[in-house]
């Protein structure tokens, strides 16, 4: 669809005031509620304000909206007709293609406002961690555009084994350190103990926060889970709504994959608000890996947001911050919990979670590539597996439904994972775990 920039929303949609129950507040390990101003040494002030905001919509700064347009928003809404006919389904399948954004995923939608608010608050450097590098490369590009320095702690094994996104970050001018690094005391202590330490996201977060606390004009940025991150992603669903309306369509089923929950929420929340108001009876399906089943098998309780236990406790569906996450290919879905708002909506029965084993997901991804041309990121292929199951169900029931899903990213920098799958090397991690 070639539709113009007027489709790019002027506001983000905040789910907080529409939730069926109040969202439990973050607390400290010894019990008291965390006050917003206590977070301002870590995050930009405006981002903290958005995190707790009760406004229904929050204005997108014009500068940010202009960059969204410059980089390619609105993203295309495409129809997967070949997949429909292959499955002999009466359902119509549409998807939002976030892989069309320059760093190849939806993550740039929040990276830009995060870098922007930091820059106007006089922050000179933003610091973050990254695993496979999708979030790190998005923030690196955002920093380059807005004029803020970017420092990324990249999990050491990924730094050496997945060099392409590391190079992309460096192209955009970011400083990238393999974590654990010599740059922080925590990293140095780990390297002294064991120089071959492969690192983990938990260690990288600890280093990023230590680094931020050491420099007055540094702040930390996070790529998923938090309310303000999900808020920024709602441009996806708002665009999709108008694009579908122009085609005379309205979705009956909405599907996305879930790591921390941001791409799912970005597509789904603008539609869920309508469902909560009783306007629509849309169904929502959140697809996750069977190896990291926080939505389908997690407990709804207070837990640390990170592996190291440095963050406040947040109430969410979690497998426990110590959960040993198997080394599945969908690196972006390797998170022990899920966003607090998404967890609450699953708990209240408004979103149905499903979990798939890795091999089924690759099968779905490859089928999609052969039929539609786009090779999905292994993360996004989880959503595609759910789409296929729903389309087959619609065939059996003979219902002419409209299915909408989020193709959160392309898989062109994940070819190694597909190579392993084709070469039979993809482990049945799920069988050993279940």
Q: Which residues of this protein are in contact with ligand PLP, per CB under 6 A?
A: 105, 107, 134, 224, 257-264, 332-333, 377, 379-380, 408-409
State how far the alpha carbon of 313 is from the alpha carbons of 30, 31, 108, 302, in Å.
10, 9, 27, 6
* 176 vs 330 by CB, closer to ligand PLP: 330
* 388 vs 394 by CB, closer to ligand PLP: 388
* 92 vs 385 by CB, closer to ligand PLP: 385
CB of 426 closer than 8 Å to CB of 420:
yes
We find the least distance from the C-beta atom of residue 105 to ligand PLP, in angstroms, to be 4
Q: Any long-range contacts for 185-191 (C-beta under 8 Å, 24+ apart)?
A: 185/210, 186/210
* 179 vs 380 by CB, closer to ligand PLP: 380
* 26 vs 131 by CB, closer to ligand PLP: 131
According to DSSP, residue 134 is labeled: H
We find the least distance from the C-beta atom of residue 414 to ligand PLP, in angstroms, to be 9
We find the least distance from the C-beta atom of residue 264 to ligand PLP, in angstroms, to be 6
Looking at the DSSP bridge assignments, the partners of residue 57 are 13
We find the least distance from the C-beta atom of residue 351 to ligand PLP, in angstroms, to be 13
Chain centroid to CA 137: how far? 14
* 199 vs 259 by CB, closer to ligand PLP: 259
Tokens read off for 342: 């998404």
We find the least distance from the C-beta atom of residue 14 to ligand PLP, in angstroms, to be 17
* 92 vs 315 by CB, closer to ligand PLP: 315
We find the least distance from the C-beta atom of residue 380 to ligand PLP, in angstroms, to be 5
We find the least distance from the C-beta atom of residue 120 to ligand PLP, in angstroms, to be 25
* 333 vs 346 by CB, closer to ligand PLP: 333
State how far the alpha carbon of 34 is from the alpha carbons of 48, 52, 226, 231, 391, in Å.
12, 11, 14, 20, 44
Q: Where are the alpha helices (DSSP H) in 284-377?
A: 294-297, 340-347, 358-372
We find the least distance from the C-beta atom of residue 228 to ligand PLP, in angstroms, to be 13
We find the least distance from the C-beta atom of residue 376 to ligand PLP, in angstroms, to be 8
We find the least distance from the C-beta atom of residue 104 to ligand PLP, in angstroms, to be 7
The C-alpha atoms of residue 136 and residue 332 are separated, in whole angstroms, by 12
Tokens read off for 64: 């940010």
In this structure, the dihedral spanned by the alpha carbons of residues 189, 195, 200 and 206, taken in order and rounded to 10 degrees, is 20
CB of 383 closer than 8 Å to CB of 256:
yes
* 190 vs 240 by CB, closer to ligand PLP: 240
Tokens read off for 223: 């790529």
State the pairing for strand pair 77-79/92-97.
Answer: antiparallel
Q: Any long-range contacts for 32-41 (C-beta under 8 Å, 24+ apart)?
A: 34/312, 41/212, 41/213
Residues 6+ apart with CB under 8 A from 88: 395
CB of 14 closer than 8 Å to CB of 58:
yes
Residue nearest to ligand PLP (CB): 409
Residues 6+ apart with CB under 8 A from 22: none
The C-alpha atoms of residue 109 and residue 101 are separated, in whole angstroms, by 9
Q: Is the dihedral of CA 187, 191, 195, 198 positive or negative?
A: negative
* 44 vs 230 by CB, closer to ligand PLP: 230
């Amino acid at each position: 669809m070639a539709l113009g920039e007027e489709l790019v929303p002027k506001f983000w949609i905040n789910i907080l005031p529409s939730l069926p129950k109040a969202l439990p507040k973050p607390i400290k390990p010894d019990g008291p509620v965390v006050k917003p101003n206590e977070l301002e040494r870590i995050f930009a002030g405006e981002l903290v304000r958005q995190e707790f905001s009760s406004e229904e919509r929050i204005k997108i700064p014009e500068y940010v909206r202009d960059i969204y347009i410059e980089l390619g928003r609105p993203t295309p809404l495409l129809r997967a007709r070949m997949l429909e006919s292959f499955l002999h389904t009466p359902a119509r399948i549409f998807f939002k293609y976030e892989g069309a954004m320059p760093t190849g995923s939806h993550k740039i939608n929040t990276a830009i406002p995060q870098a922007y608010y930091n820059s106007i608050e006089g922050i000179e450097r933003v610091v973050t961690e990254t695993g496979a590098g999708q979030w790190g490369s998005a923030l690196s590009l955002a920093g380059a555009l807005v004029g803020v320095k970017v420092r990324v702690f990249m999990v050491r094994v990924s730094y050496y084994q997945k060099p392409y996104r590391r190079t992309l970050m460096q192209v955009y001018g970011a400083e990238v350190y393999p974590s654990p690094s010599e740059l922080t005391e925590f990293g140095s202590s780990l390297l002294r103990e064991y120089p071959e330490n492969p690192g983990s996201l938990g260690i990288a977060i600890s280093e990023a926060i230590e680094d931020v606390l050491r420099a007055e004009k540094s702040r930390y940025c996070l790529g998923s889970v938090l309310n303000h991150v999900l808020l920024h992603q709602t441009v996806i669903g708002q665009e999709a709504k108008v694009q579908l309306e122009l085609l005379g369509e309205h979705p009956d089923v909405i599907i996305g994959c879930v790591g921390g929950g941001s791409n799912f929420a970005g597509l789904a929340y603008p539609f869920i608000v309508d469902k909560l108001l009783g306007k629509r009876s849309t169904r929502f399906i959140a697809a996750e890996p069977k190896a990291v089943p926080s939505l389908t098998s997690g407990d709804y309780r207070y837990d640390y947001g990170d592996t190291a236990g440095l963050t406040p406790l947040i109430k969410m569906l979690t497998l426990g911050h110590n959960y040993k996450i198997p080394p599945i290919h969908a690196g972006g879905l390797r998170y022990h919990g899920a966003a607090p708002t998404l967890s609450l909506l699953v708990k209240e029965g408004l979103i149905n979670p499903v979990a798939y084993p890795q091999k089924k997901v690759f099968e779905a991804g490859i089928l999609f590539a052969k039929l539609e041309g786009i090779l999905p990121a292994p993360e996004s292929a989880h959503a595609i597996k759910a789409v296929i199951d729903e389309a087959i169900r619609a065939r059996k029931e003979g219902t002419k439904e409209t299915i909408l899903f989020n193709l959160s990213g392309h898989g062109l920098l994940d070819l190694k994972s597909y190579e392993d799958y084709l070469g039979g090397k993809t482990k049945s991690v799920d069988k050993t775990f279940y």
